[in-house]
Amino acid sequence: MLTELQKKKLTYQFSIFDVDKNGFLEKSDFDKIVNGYAETYNLSQDSETYQYLSSTYAKRWEGLAKEADTNADNKVSLDEWLSYQDNLVNDPKSDFLWLKIASMFHEIQDVDKDGAISLEEYKLIYKIHGIGDDSLAAEIFSKLDFDGDGKIMKNDHLNLVADFYLSNNPESPGNLFFGPYE
């Protein structure tokens, strides 16, 4: 069963993916995120990067819809999302899925393909998802960049995401990965 802290964090994450703020996750929300990346990075729809983003988010939506949309209405409610996340959090076999999803997002967010997310790349994540401004992104980034080298390496990214989903410690830095949840 999800803890209250996990519910808060996951409800906040739901709100980030609910781009149109209609209370449901739908394919159109994922399409809008892809369009946000395209606009931010000036990607044409026929570019390899756009095609990768589009297919990756489409697959993510298909997987989410298959597993979370229990009433088959082509949208995922907050209750369905939390139930889906509860199943993932409490199923030890789901670790591979989490790592796969987190790894996929790291690849997308690592724009310059240097194996790390820089502050500038992290700021773009905030812009695309409407999380907050550059100063908030910088403030949170400084808490996630453990060694102060200006980069979040892939392994650190995976650990931060695991903290976001699994930690019940309100002081865990990973809680902030997607922005302030409170």
Nearest Cα residue to 75 out of 130, 36, 30, 128: 30
Angle between helices 4-17 and 27-41 (to 10 degrees): 70
Domains contained in the chain, CATH given: 1-90 (1.10.238.10), 95-167 (1.10.238.10)
Measured CA distances, 87 to 38, 67, 84, 153 (Å) = 33, 10, 5, 28
What is residue 94's predicted lDDT score, i.e. its pLDDT? Answer: 74
CA–CA separation, 111 and 115 (whole Å): 9
> Which tens digits make up the pLDDT trace of 125-144?
999 999 999 999 999 999 99
Average pLDDT over residues 69-79: 98
Q: Which residue has the higher pLDDT, 171 or 91?
A: 171
What is residue 88's predicted lDDT score, i.e. its pLDDT? Answer: 87
Written as six digits, the tokens of 65 are 């819809």
Nearest Cα residue to 109 out of 128, 96, 122: 122
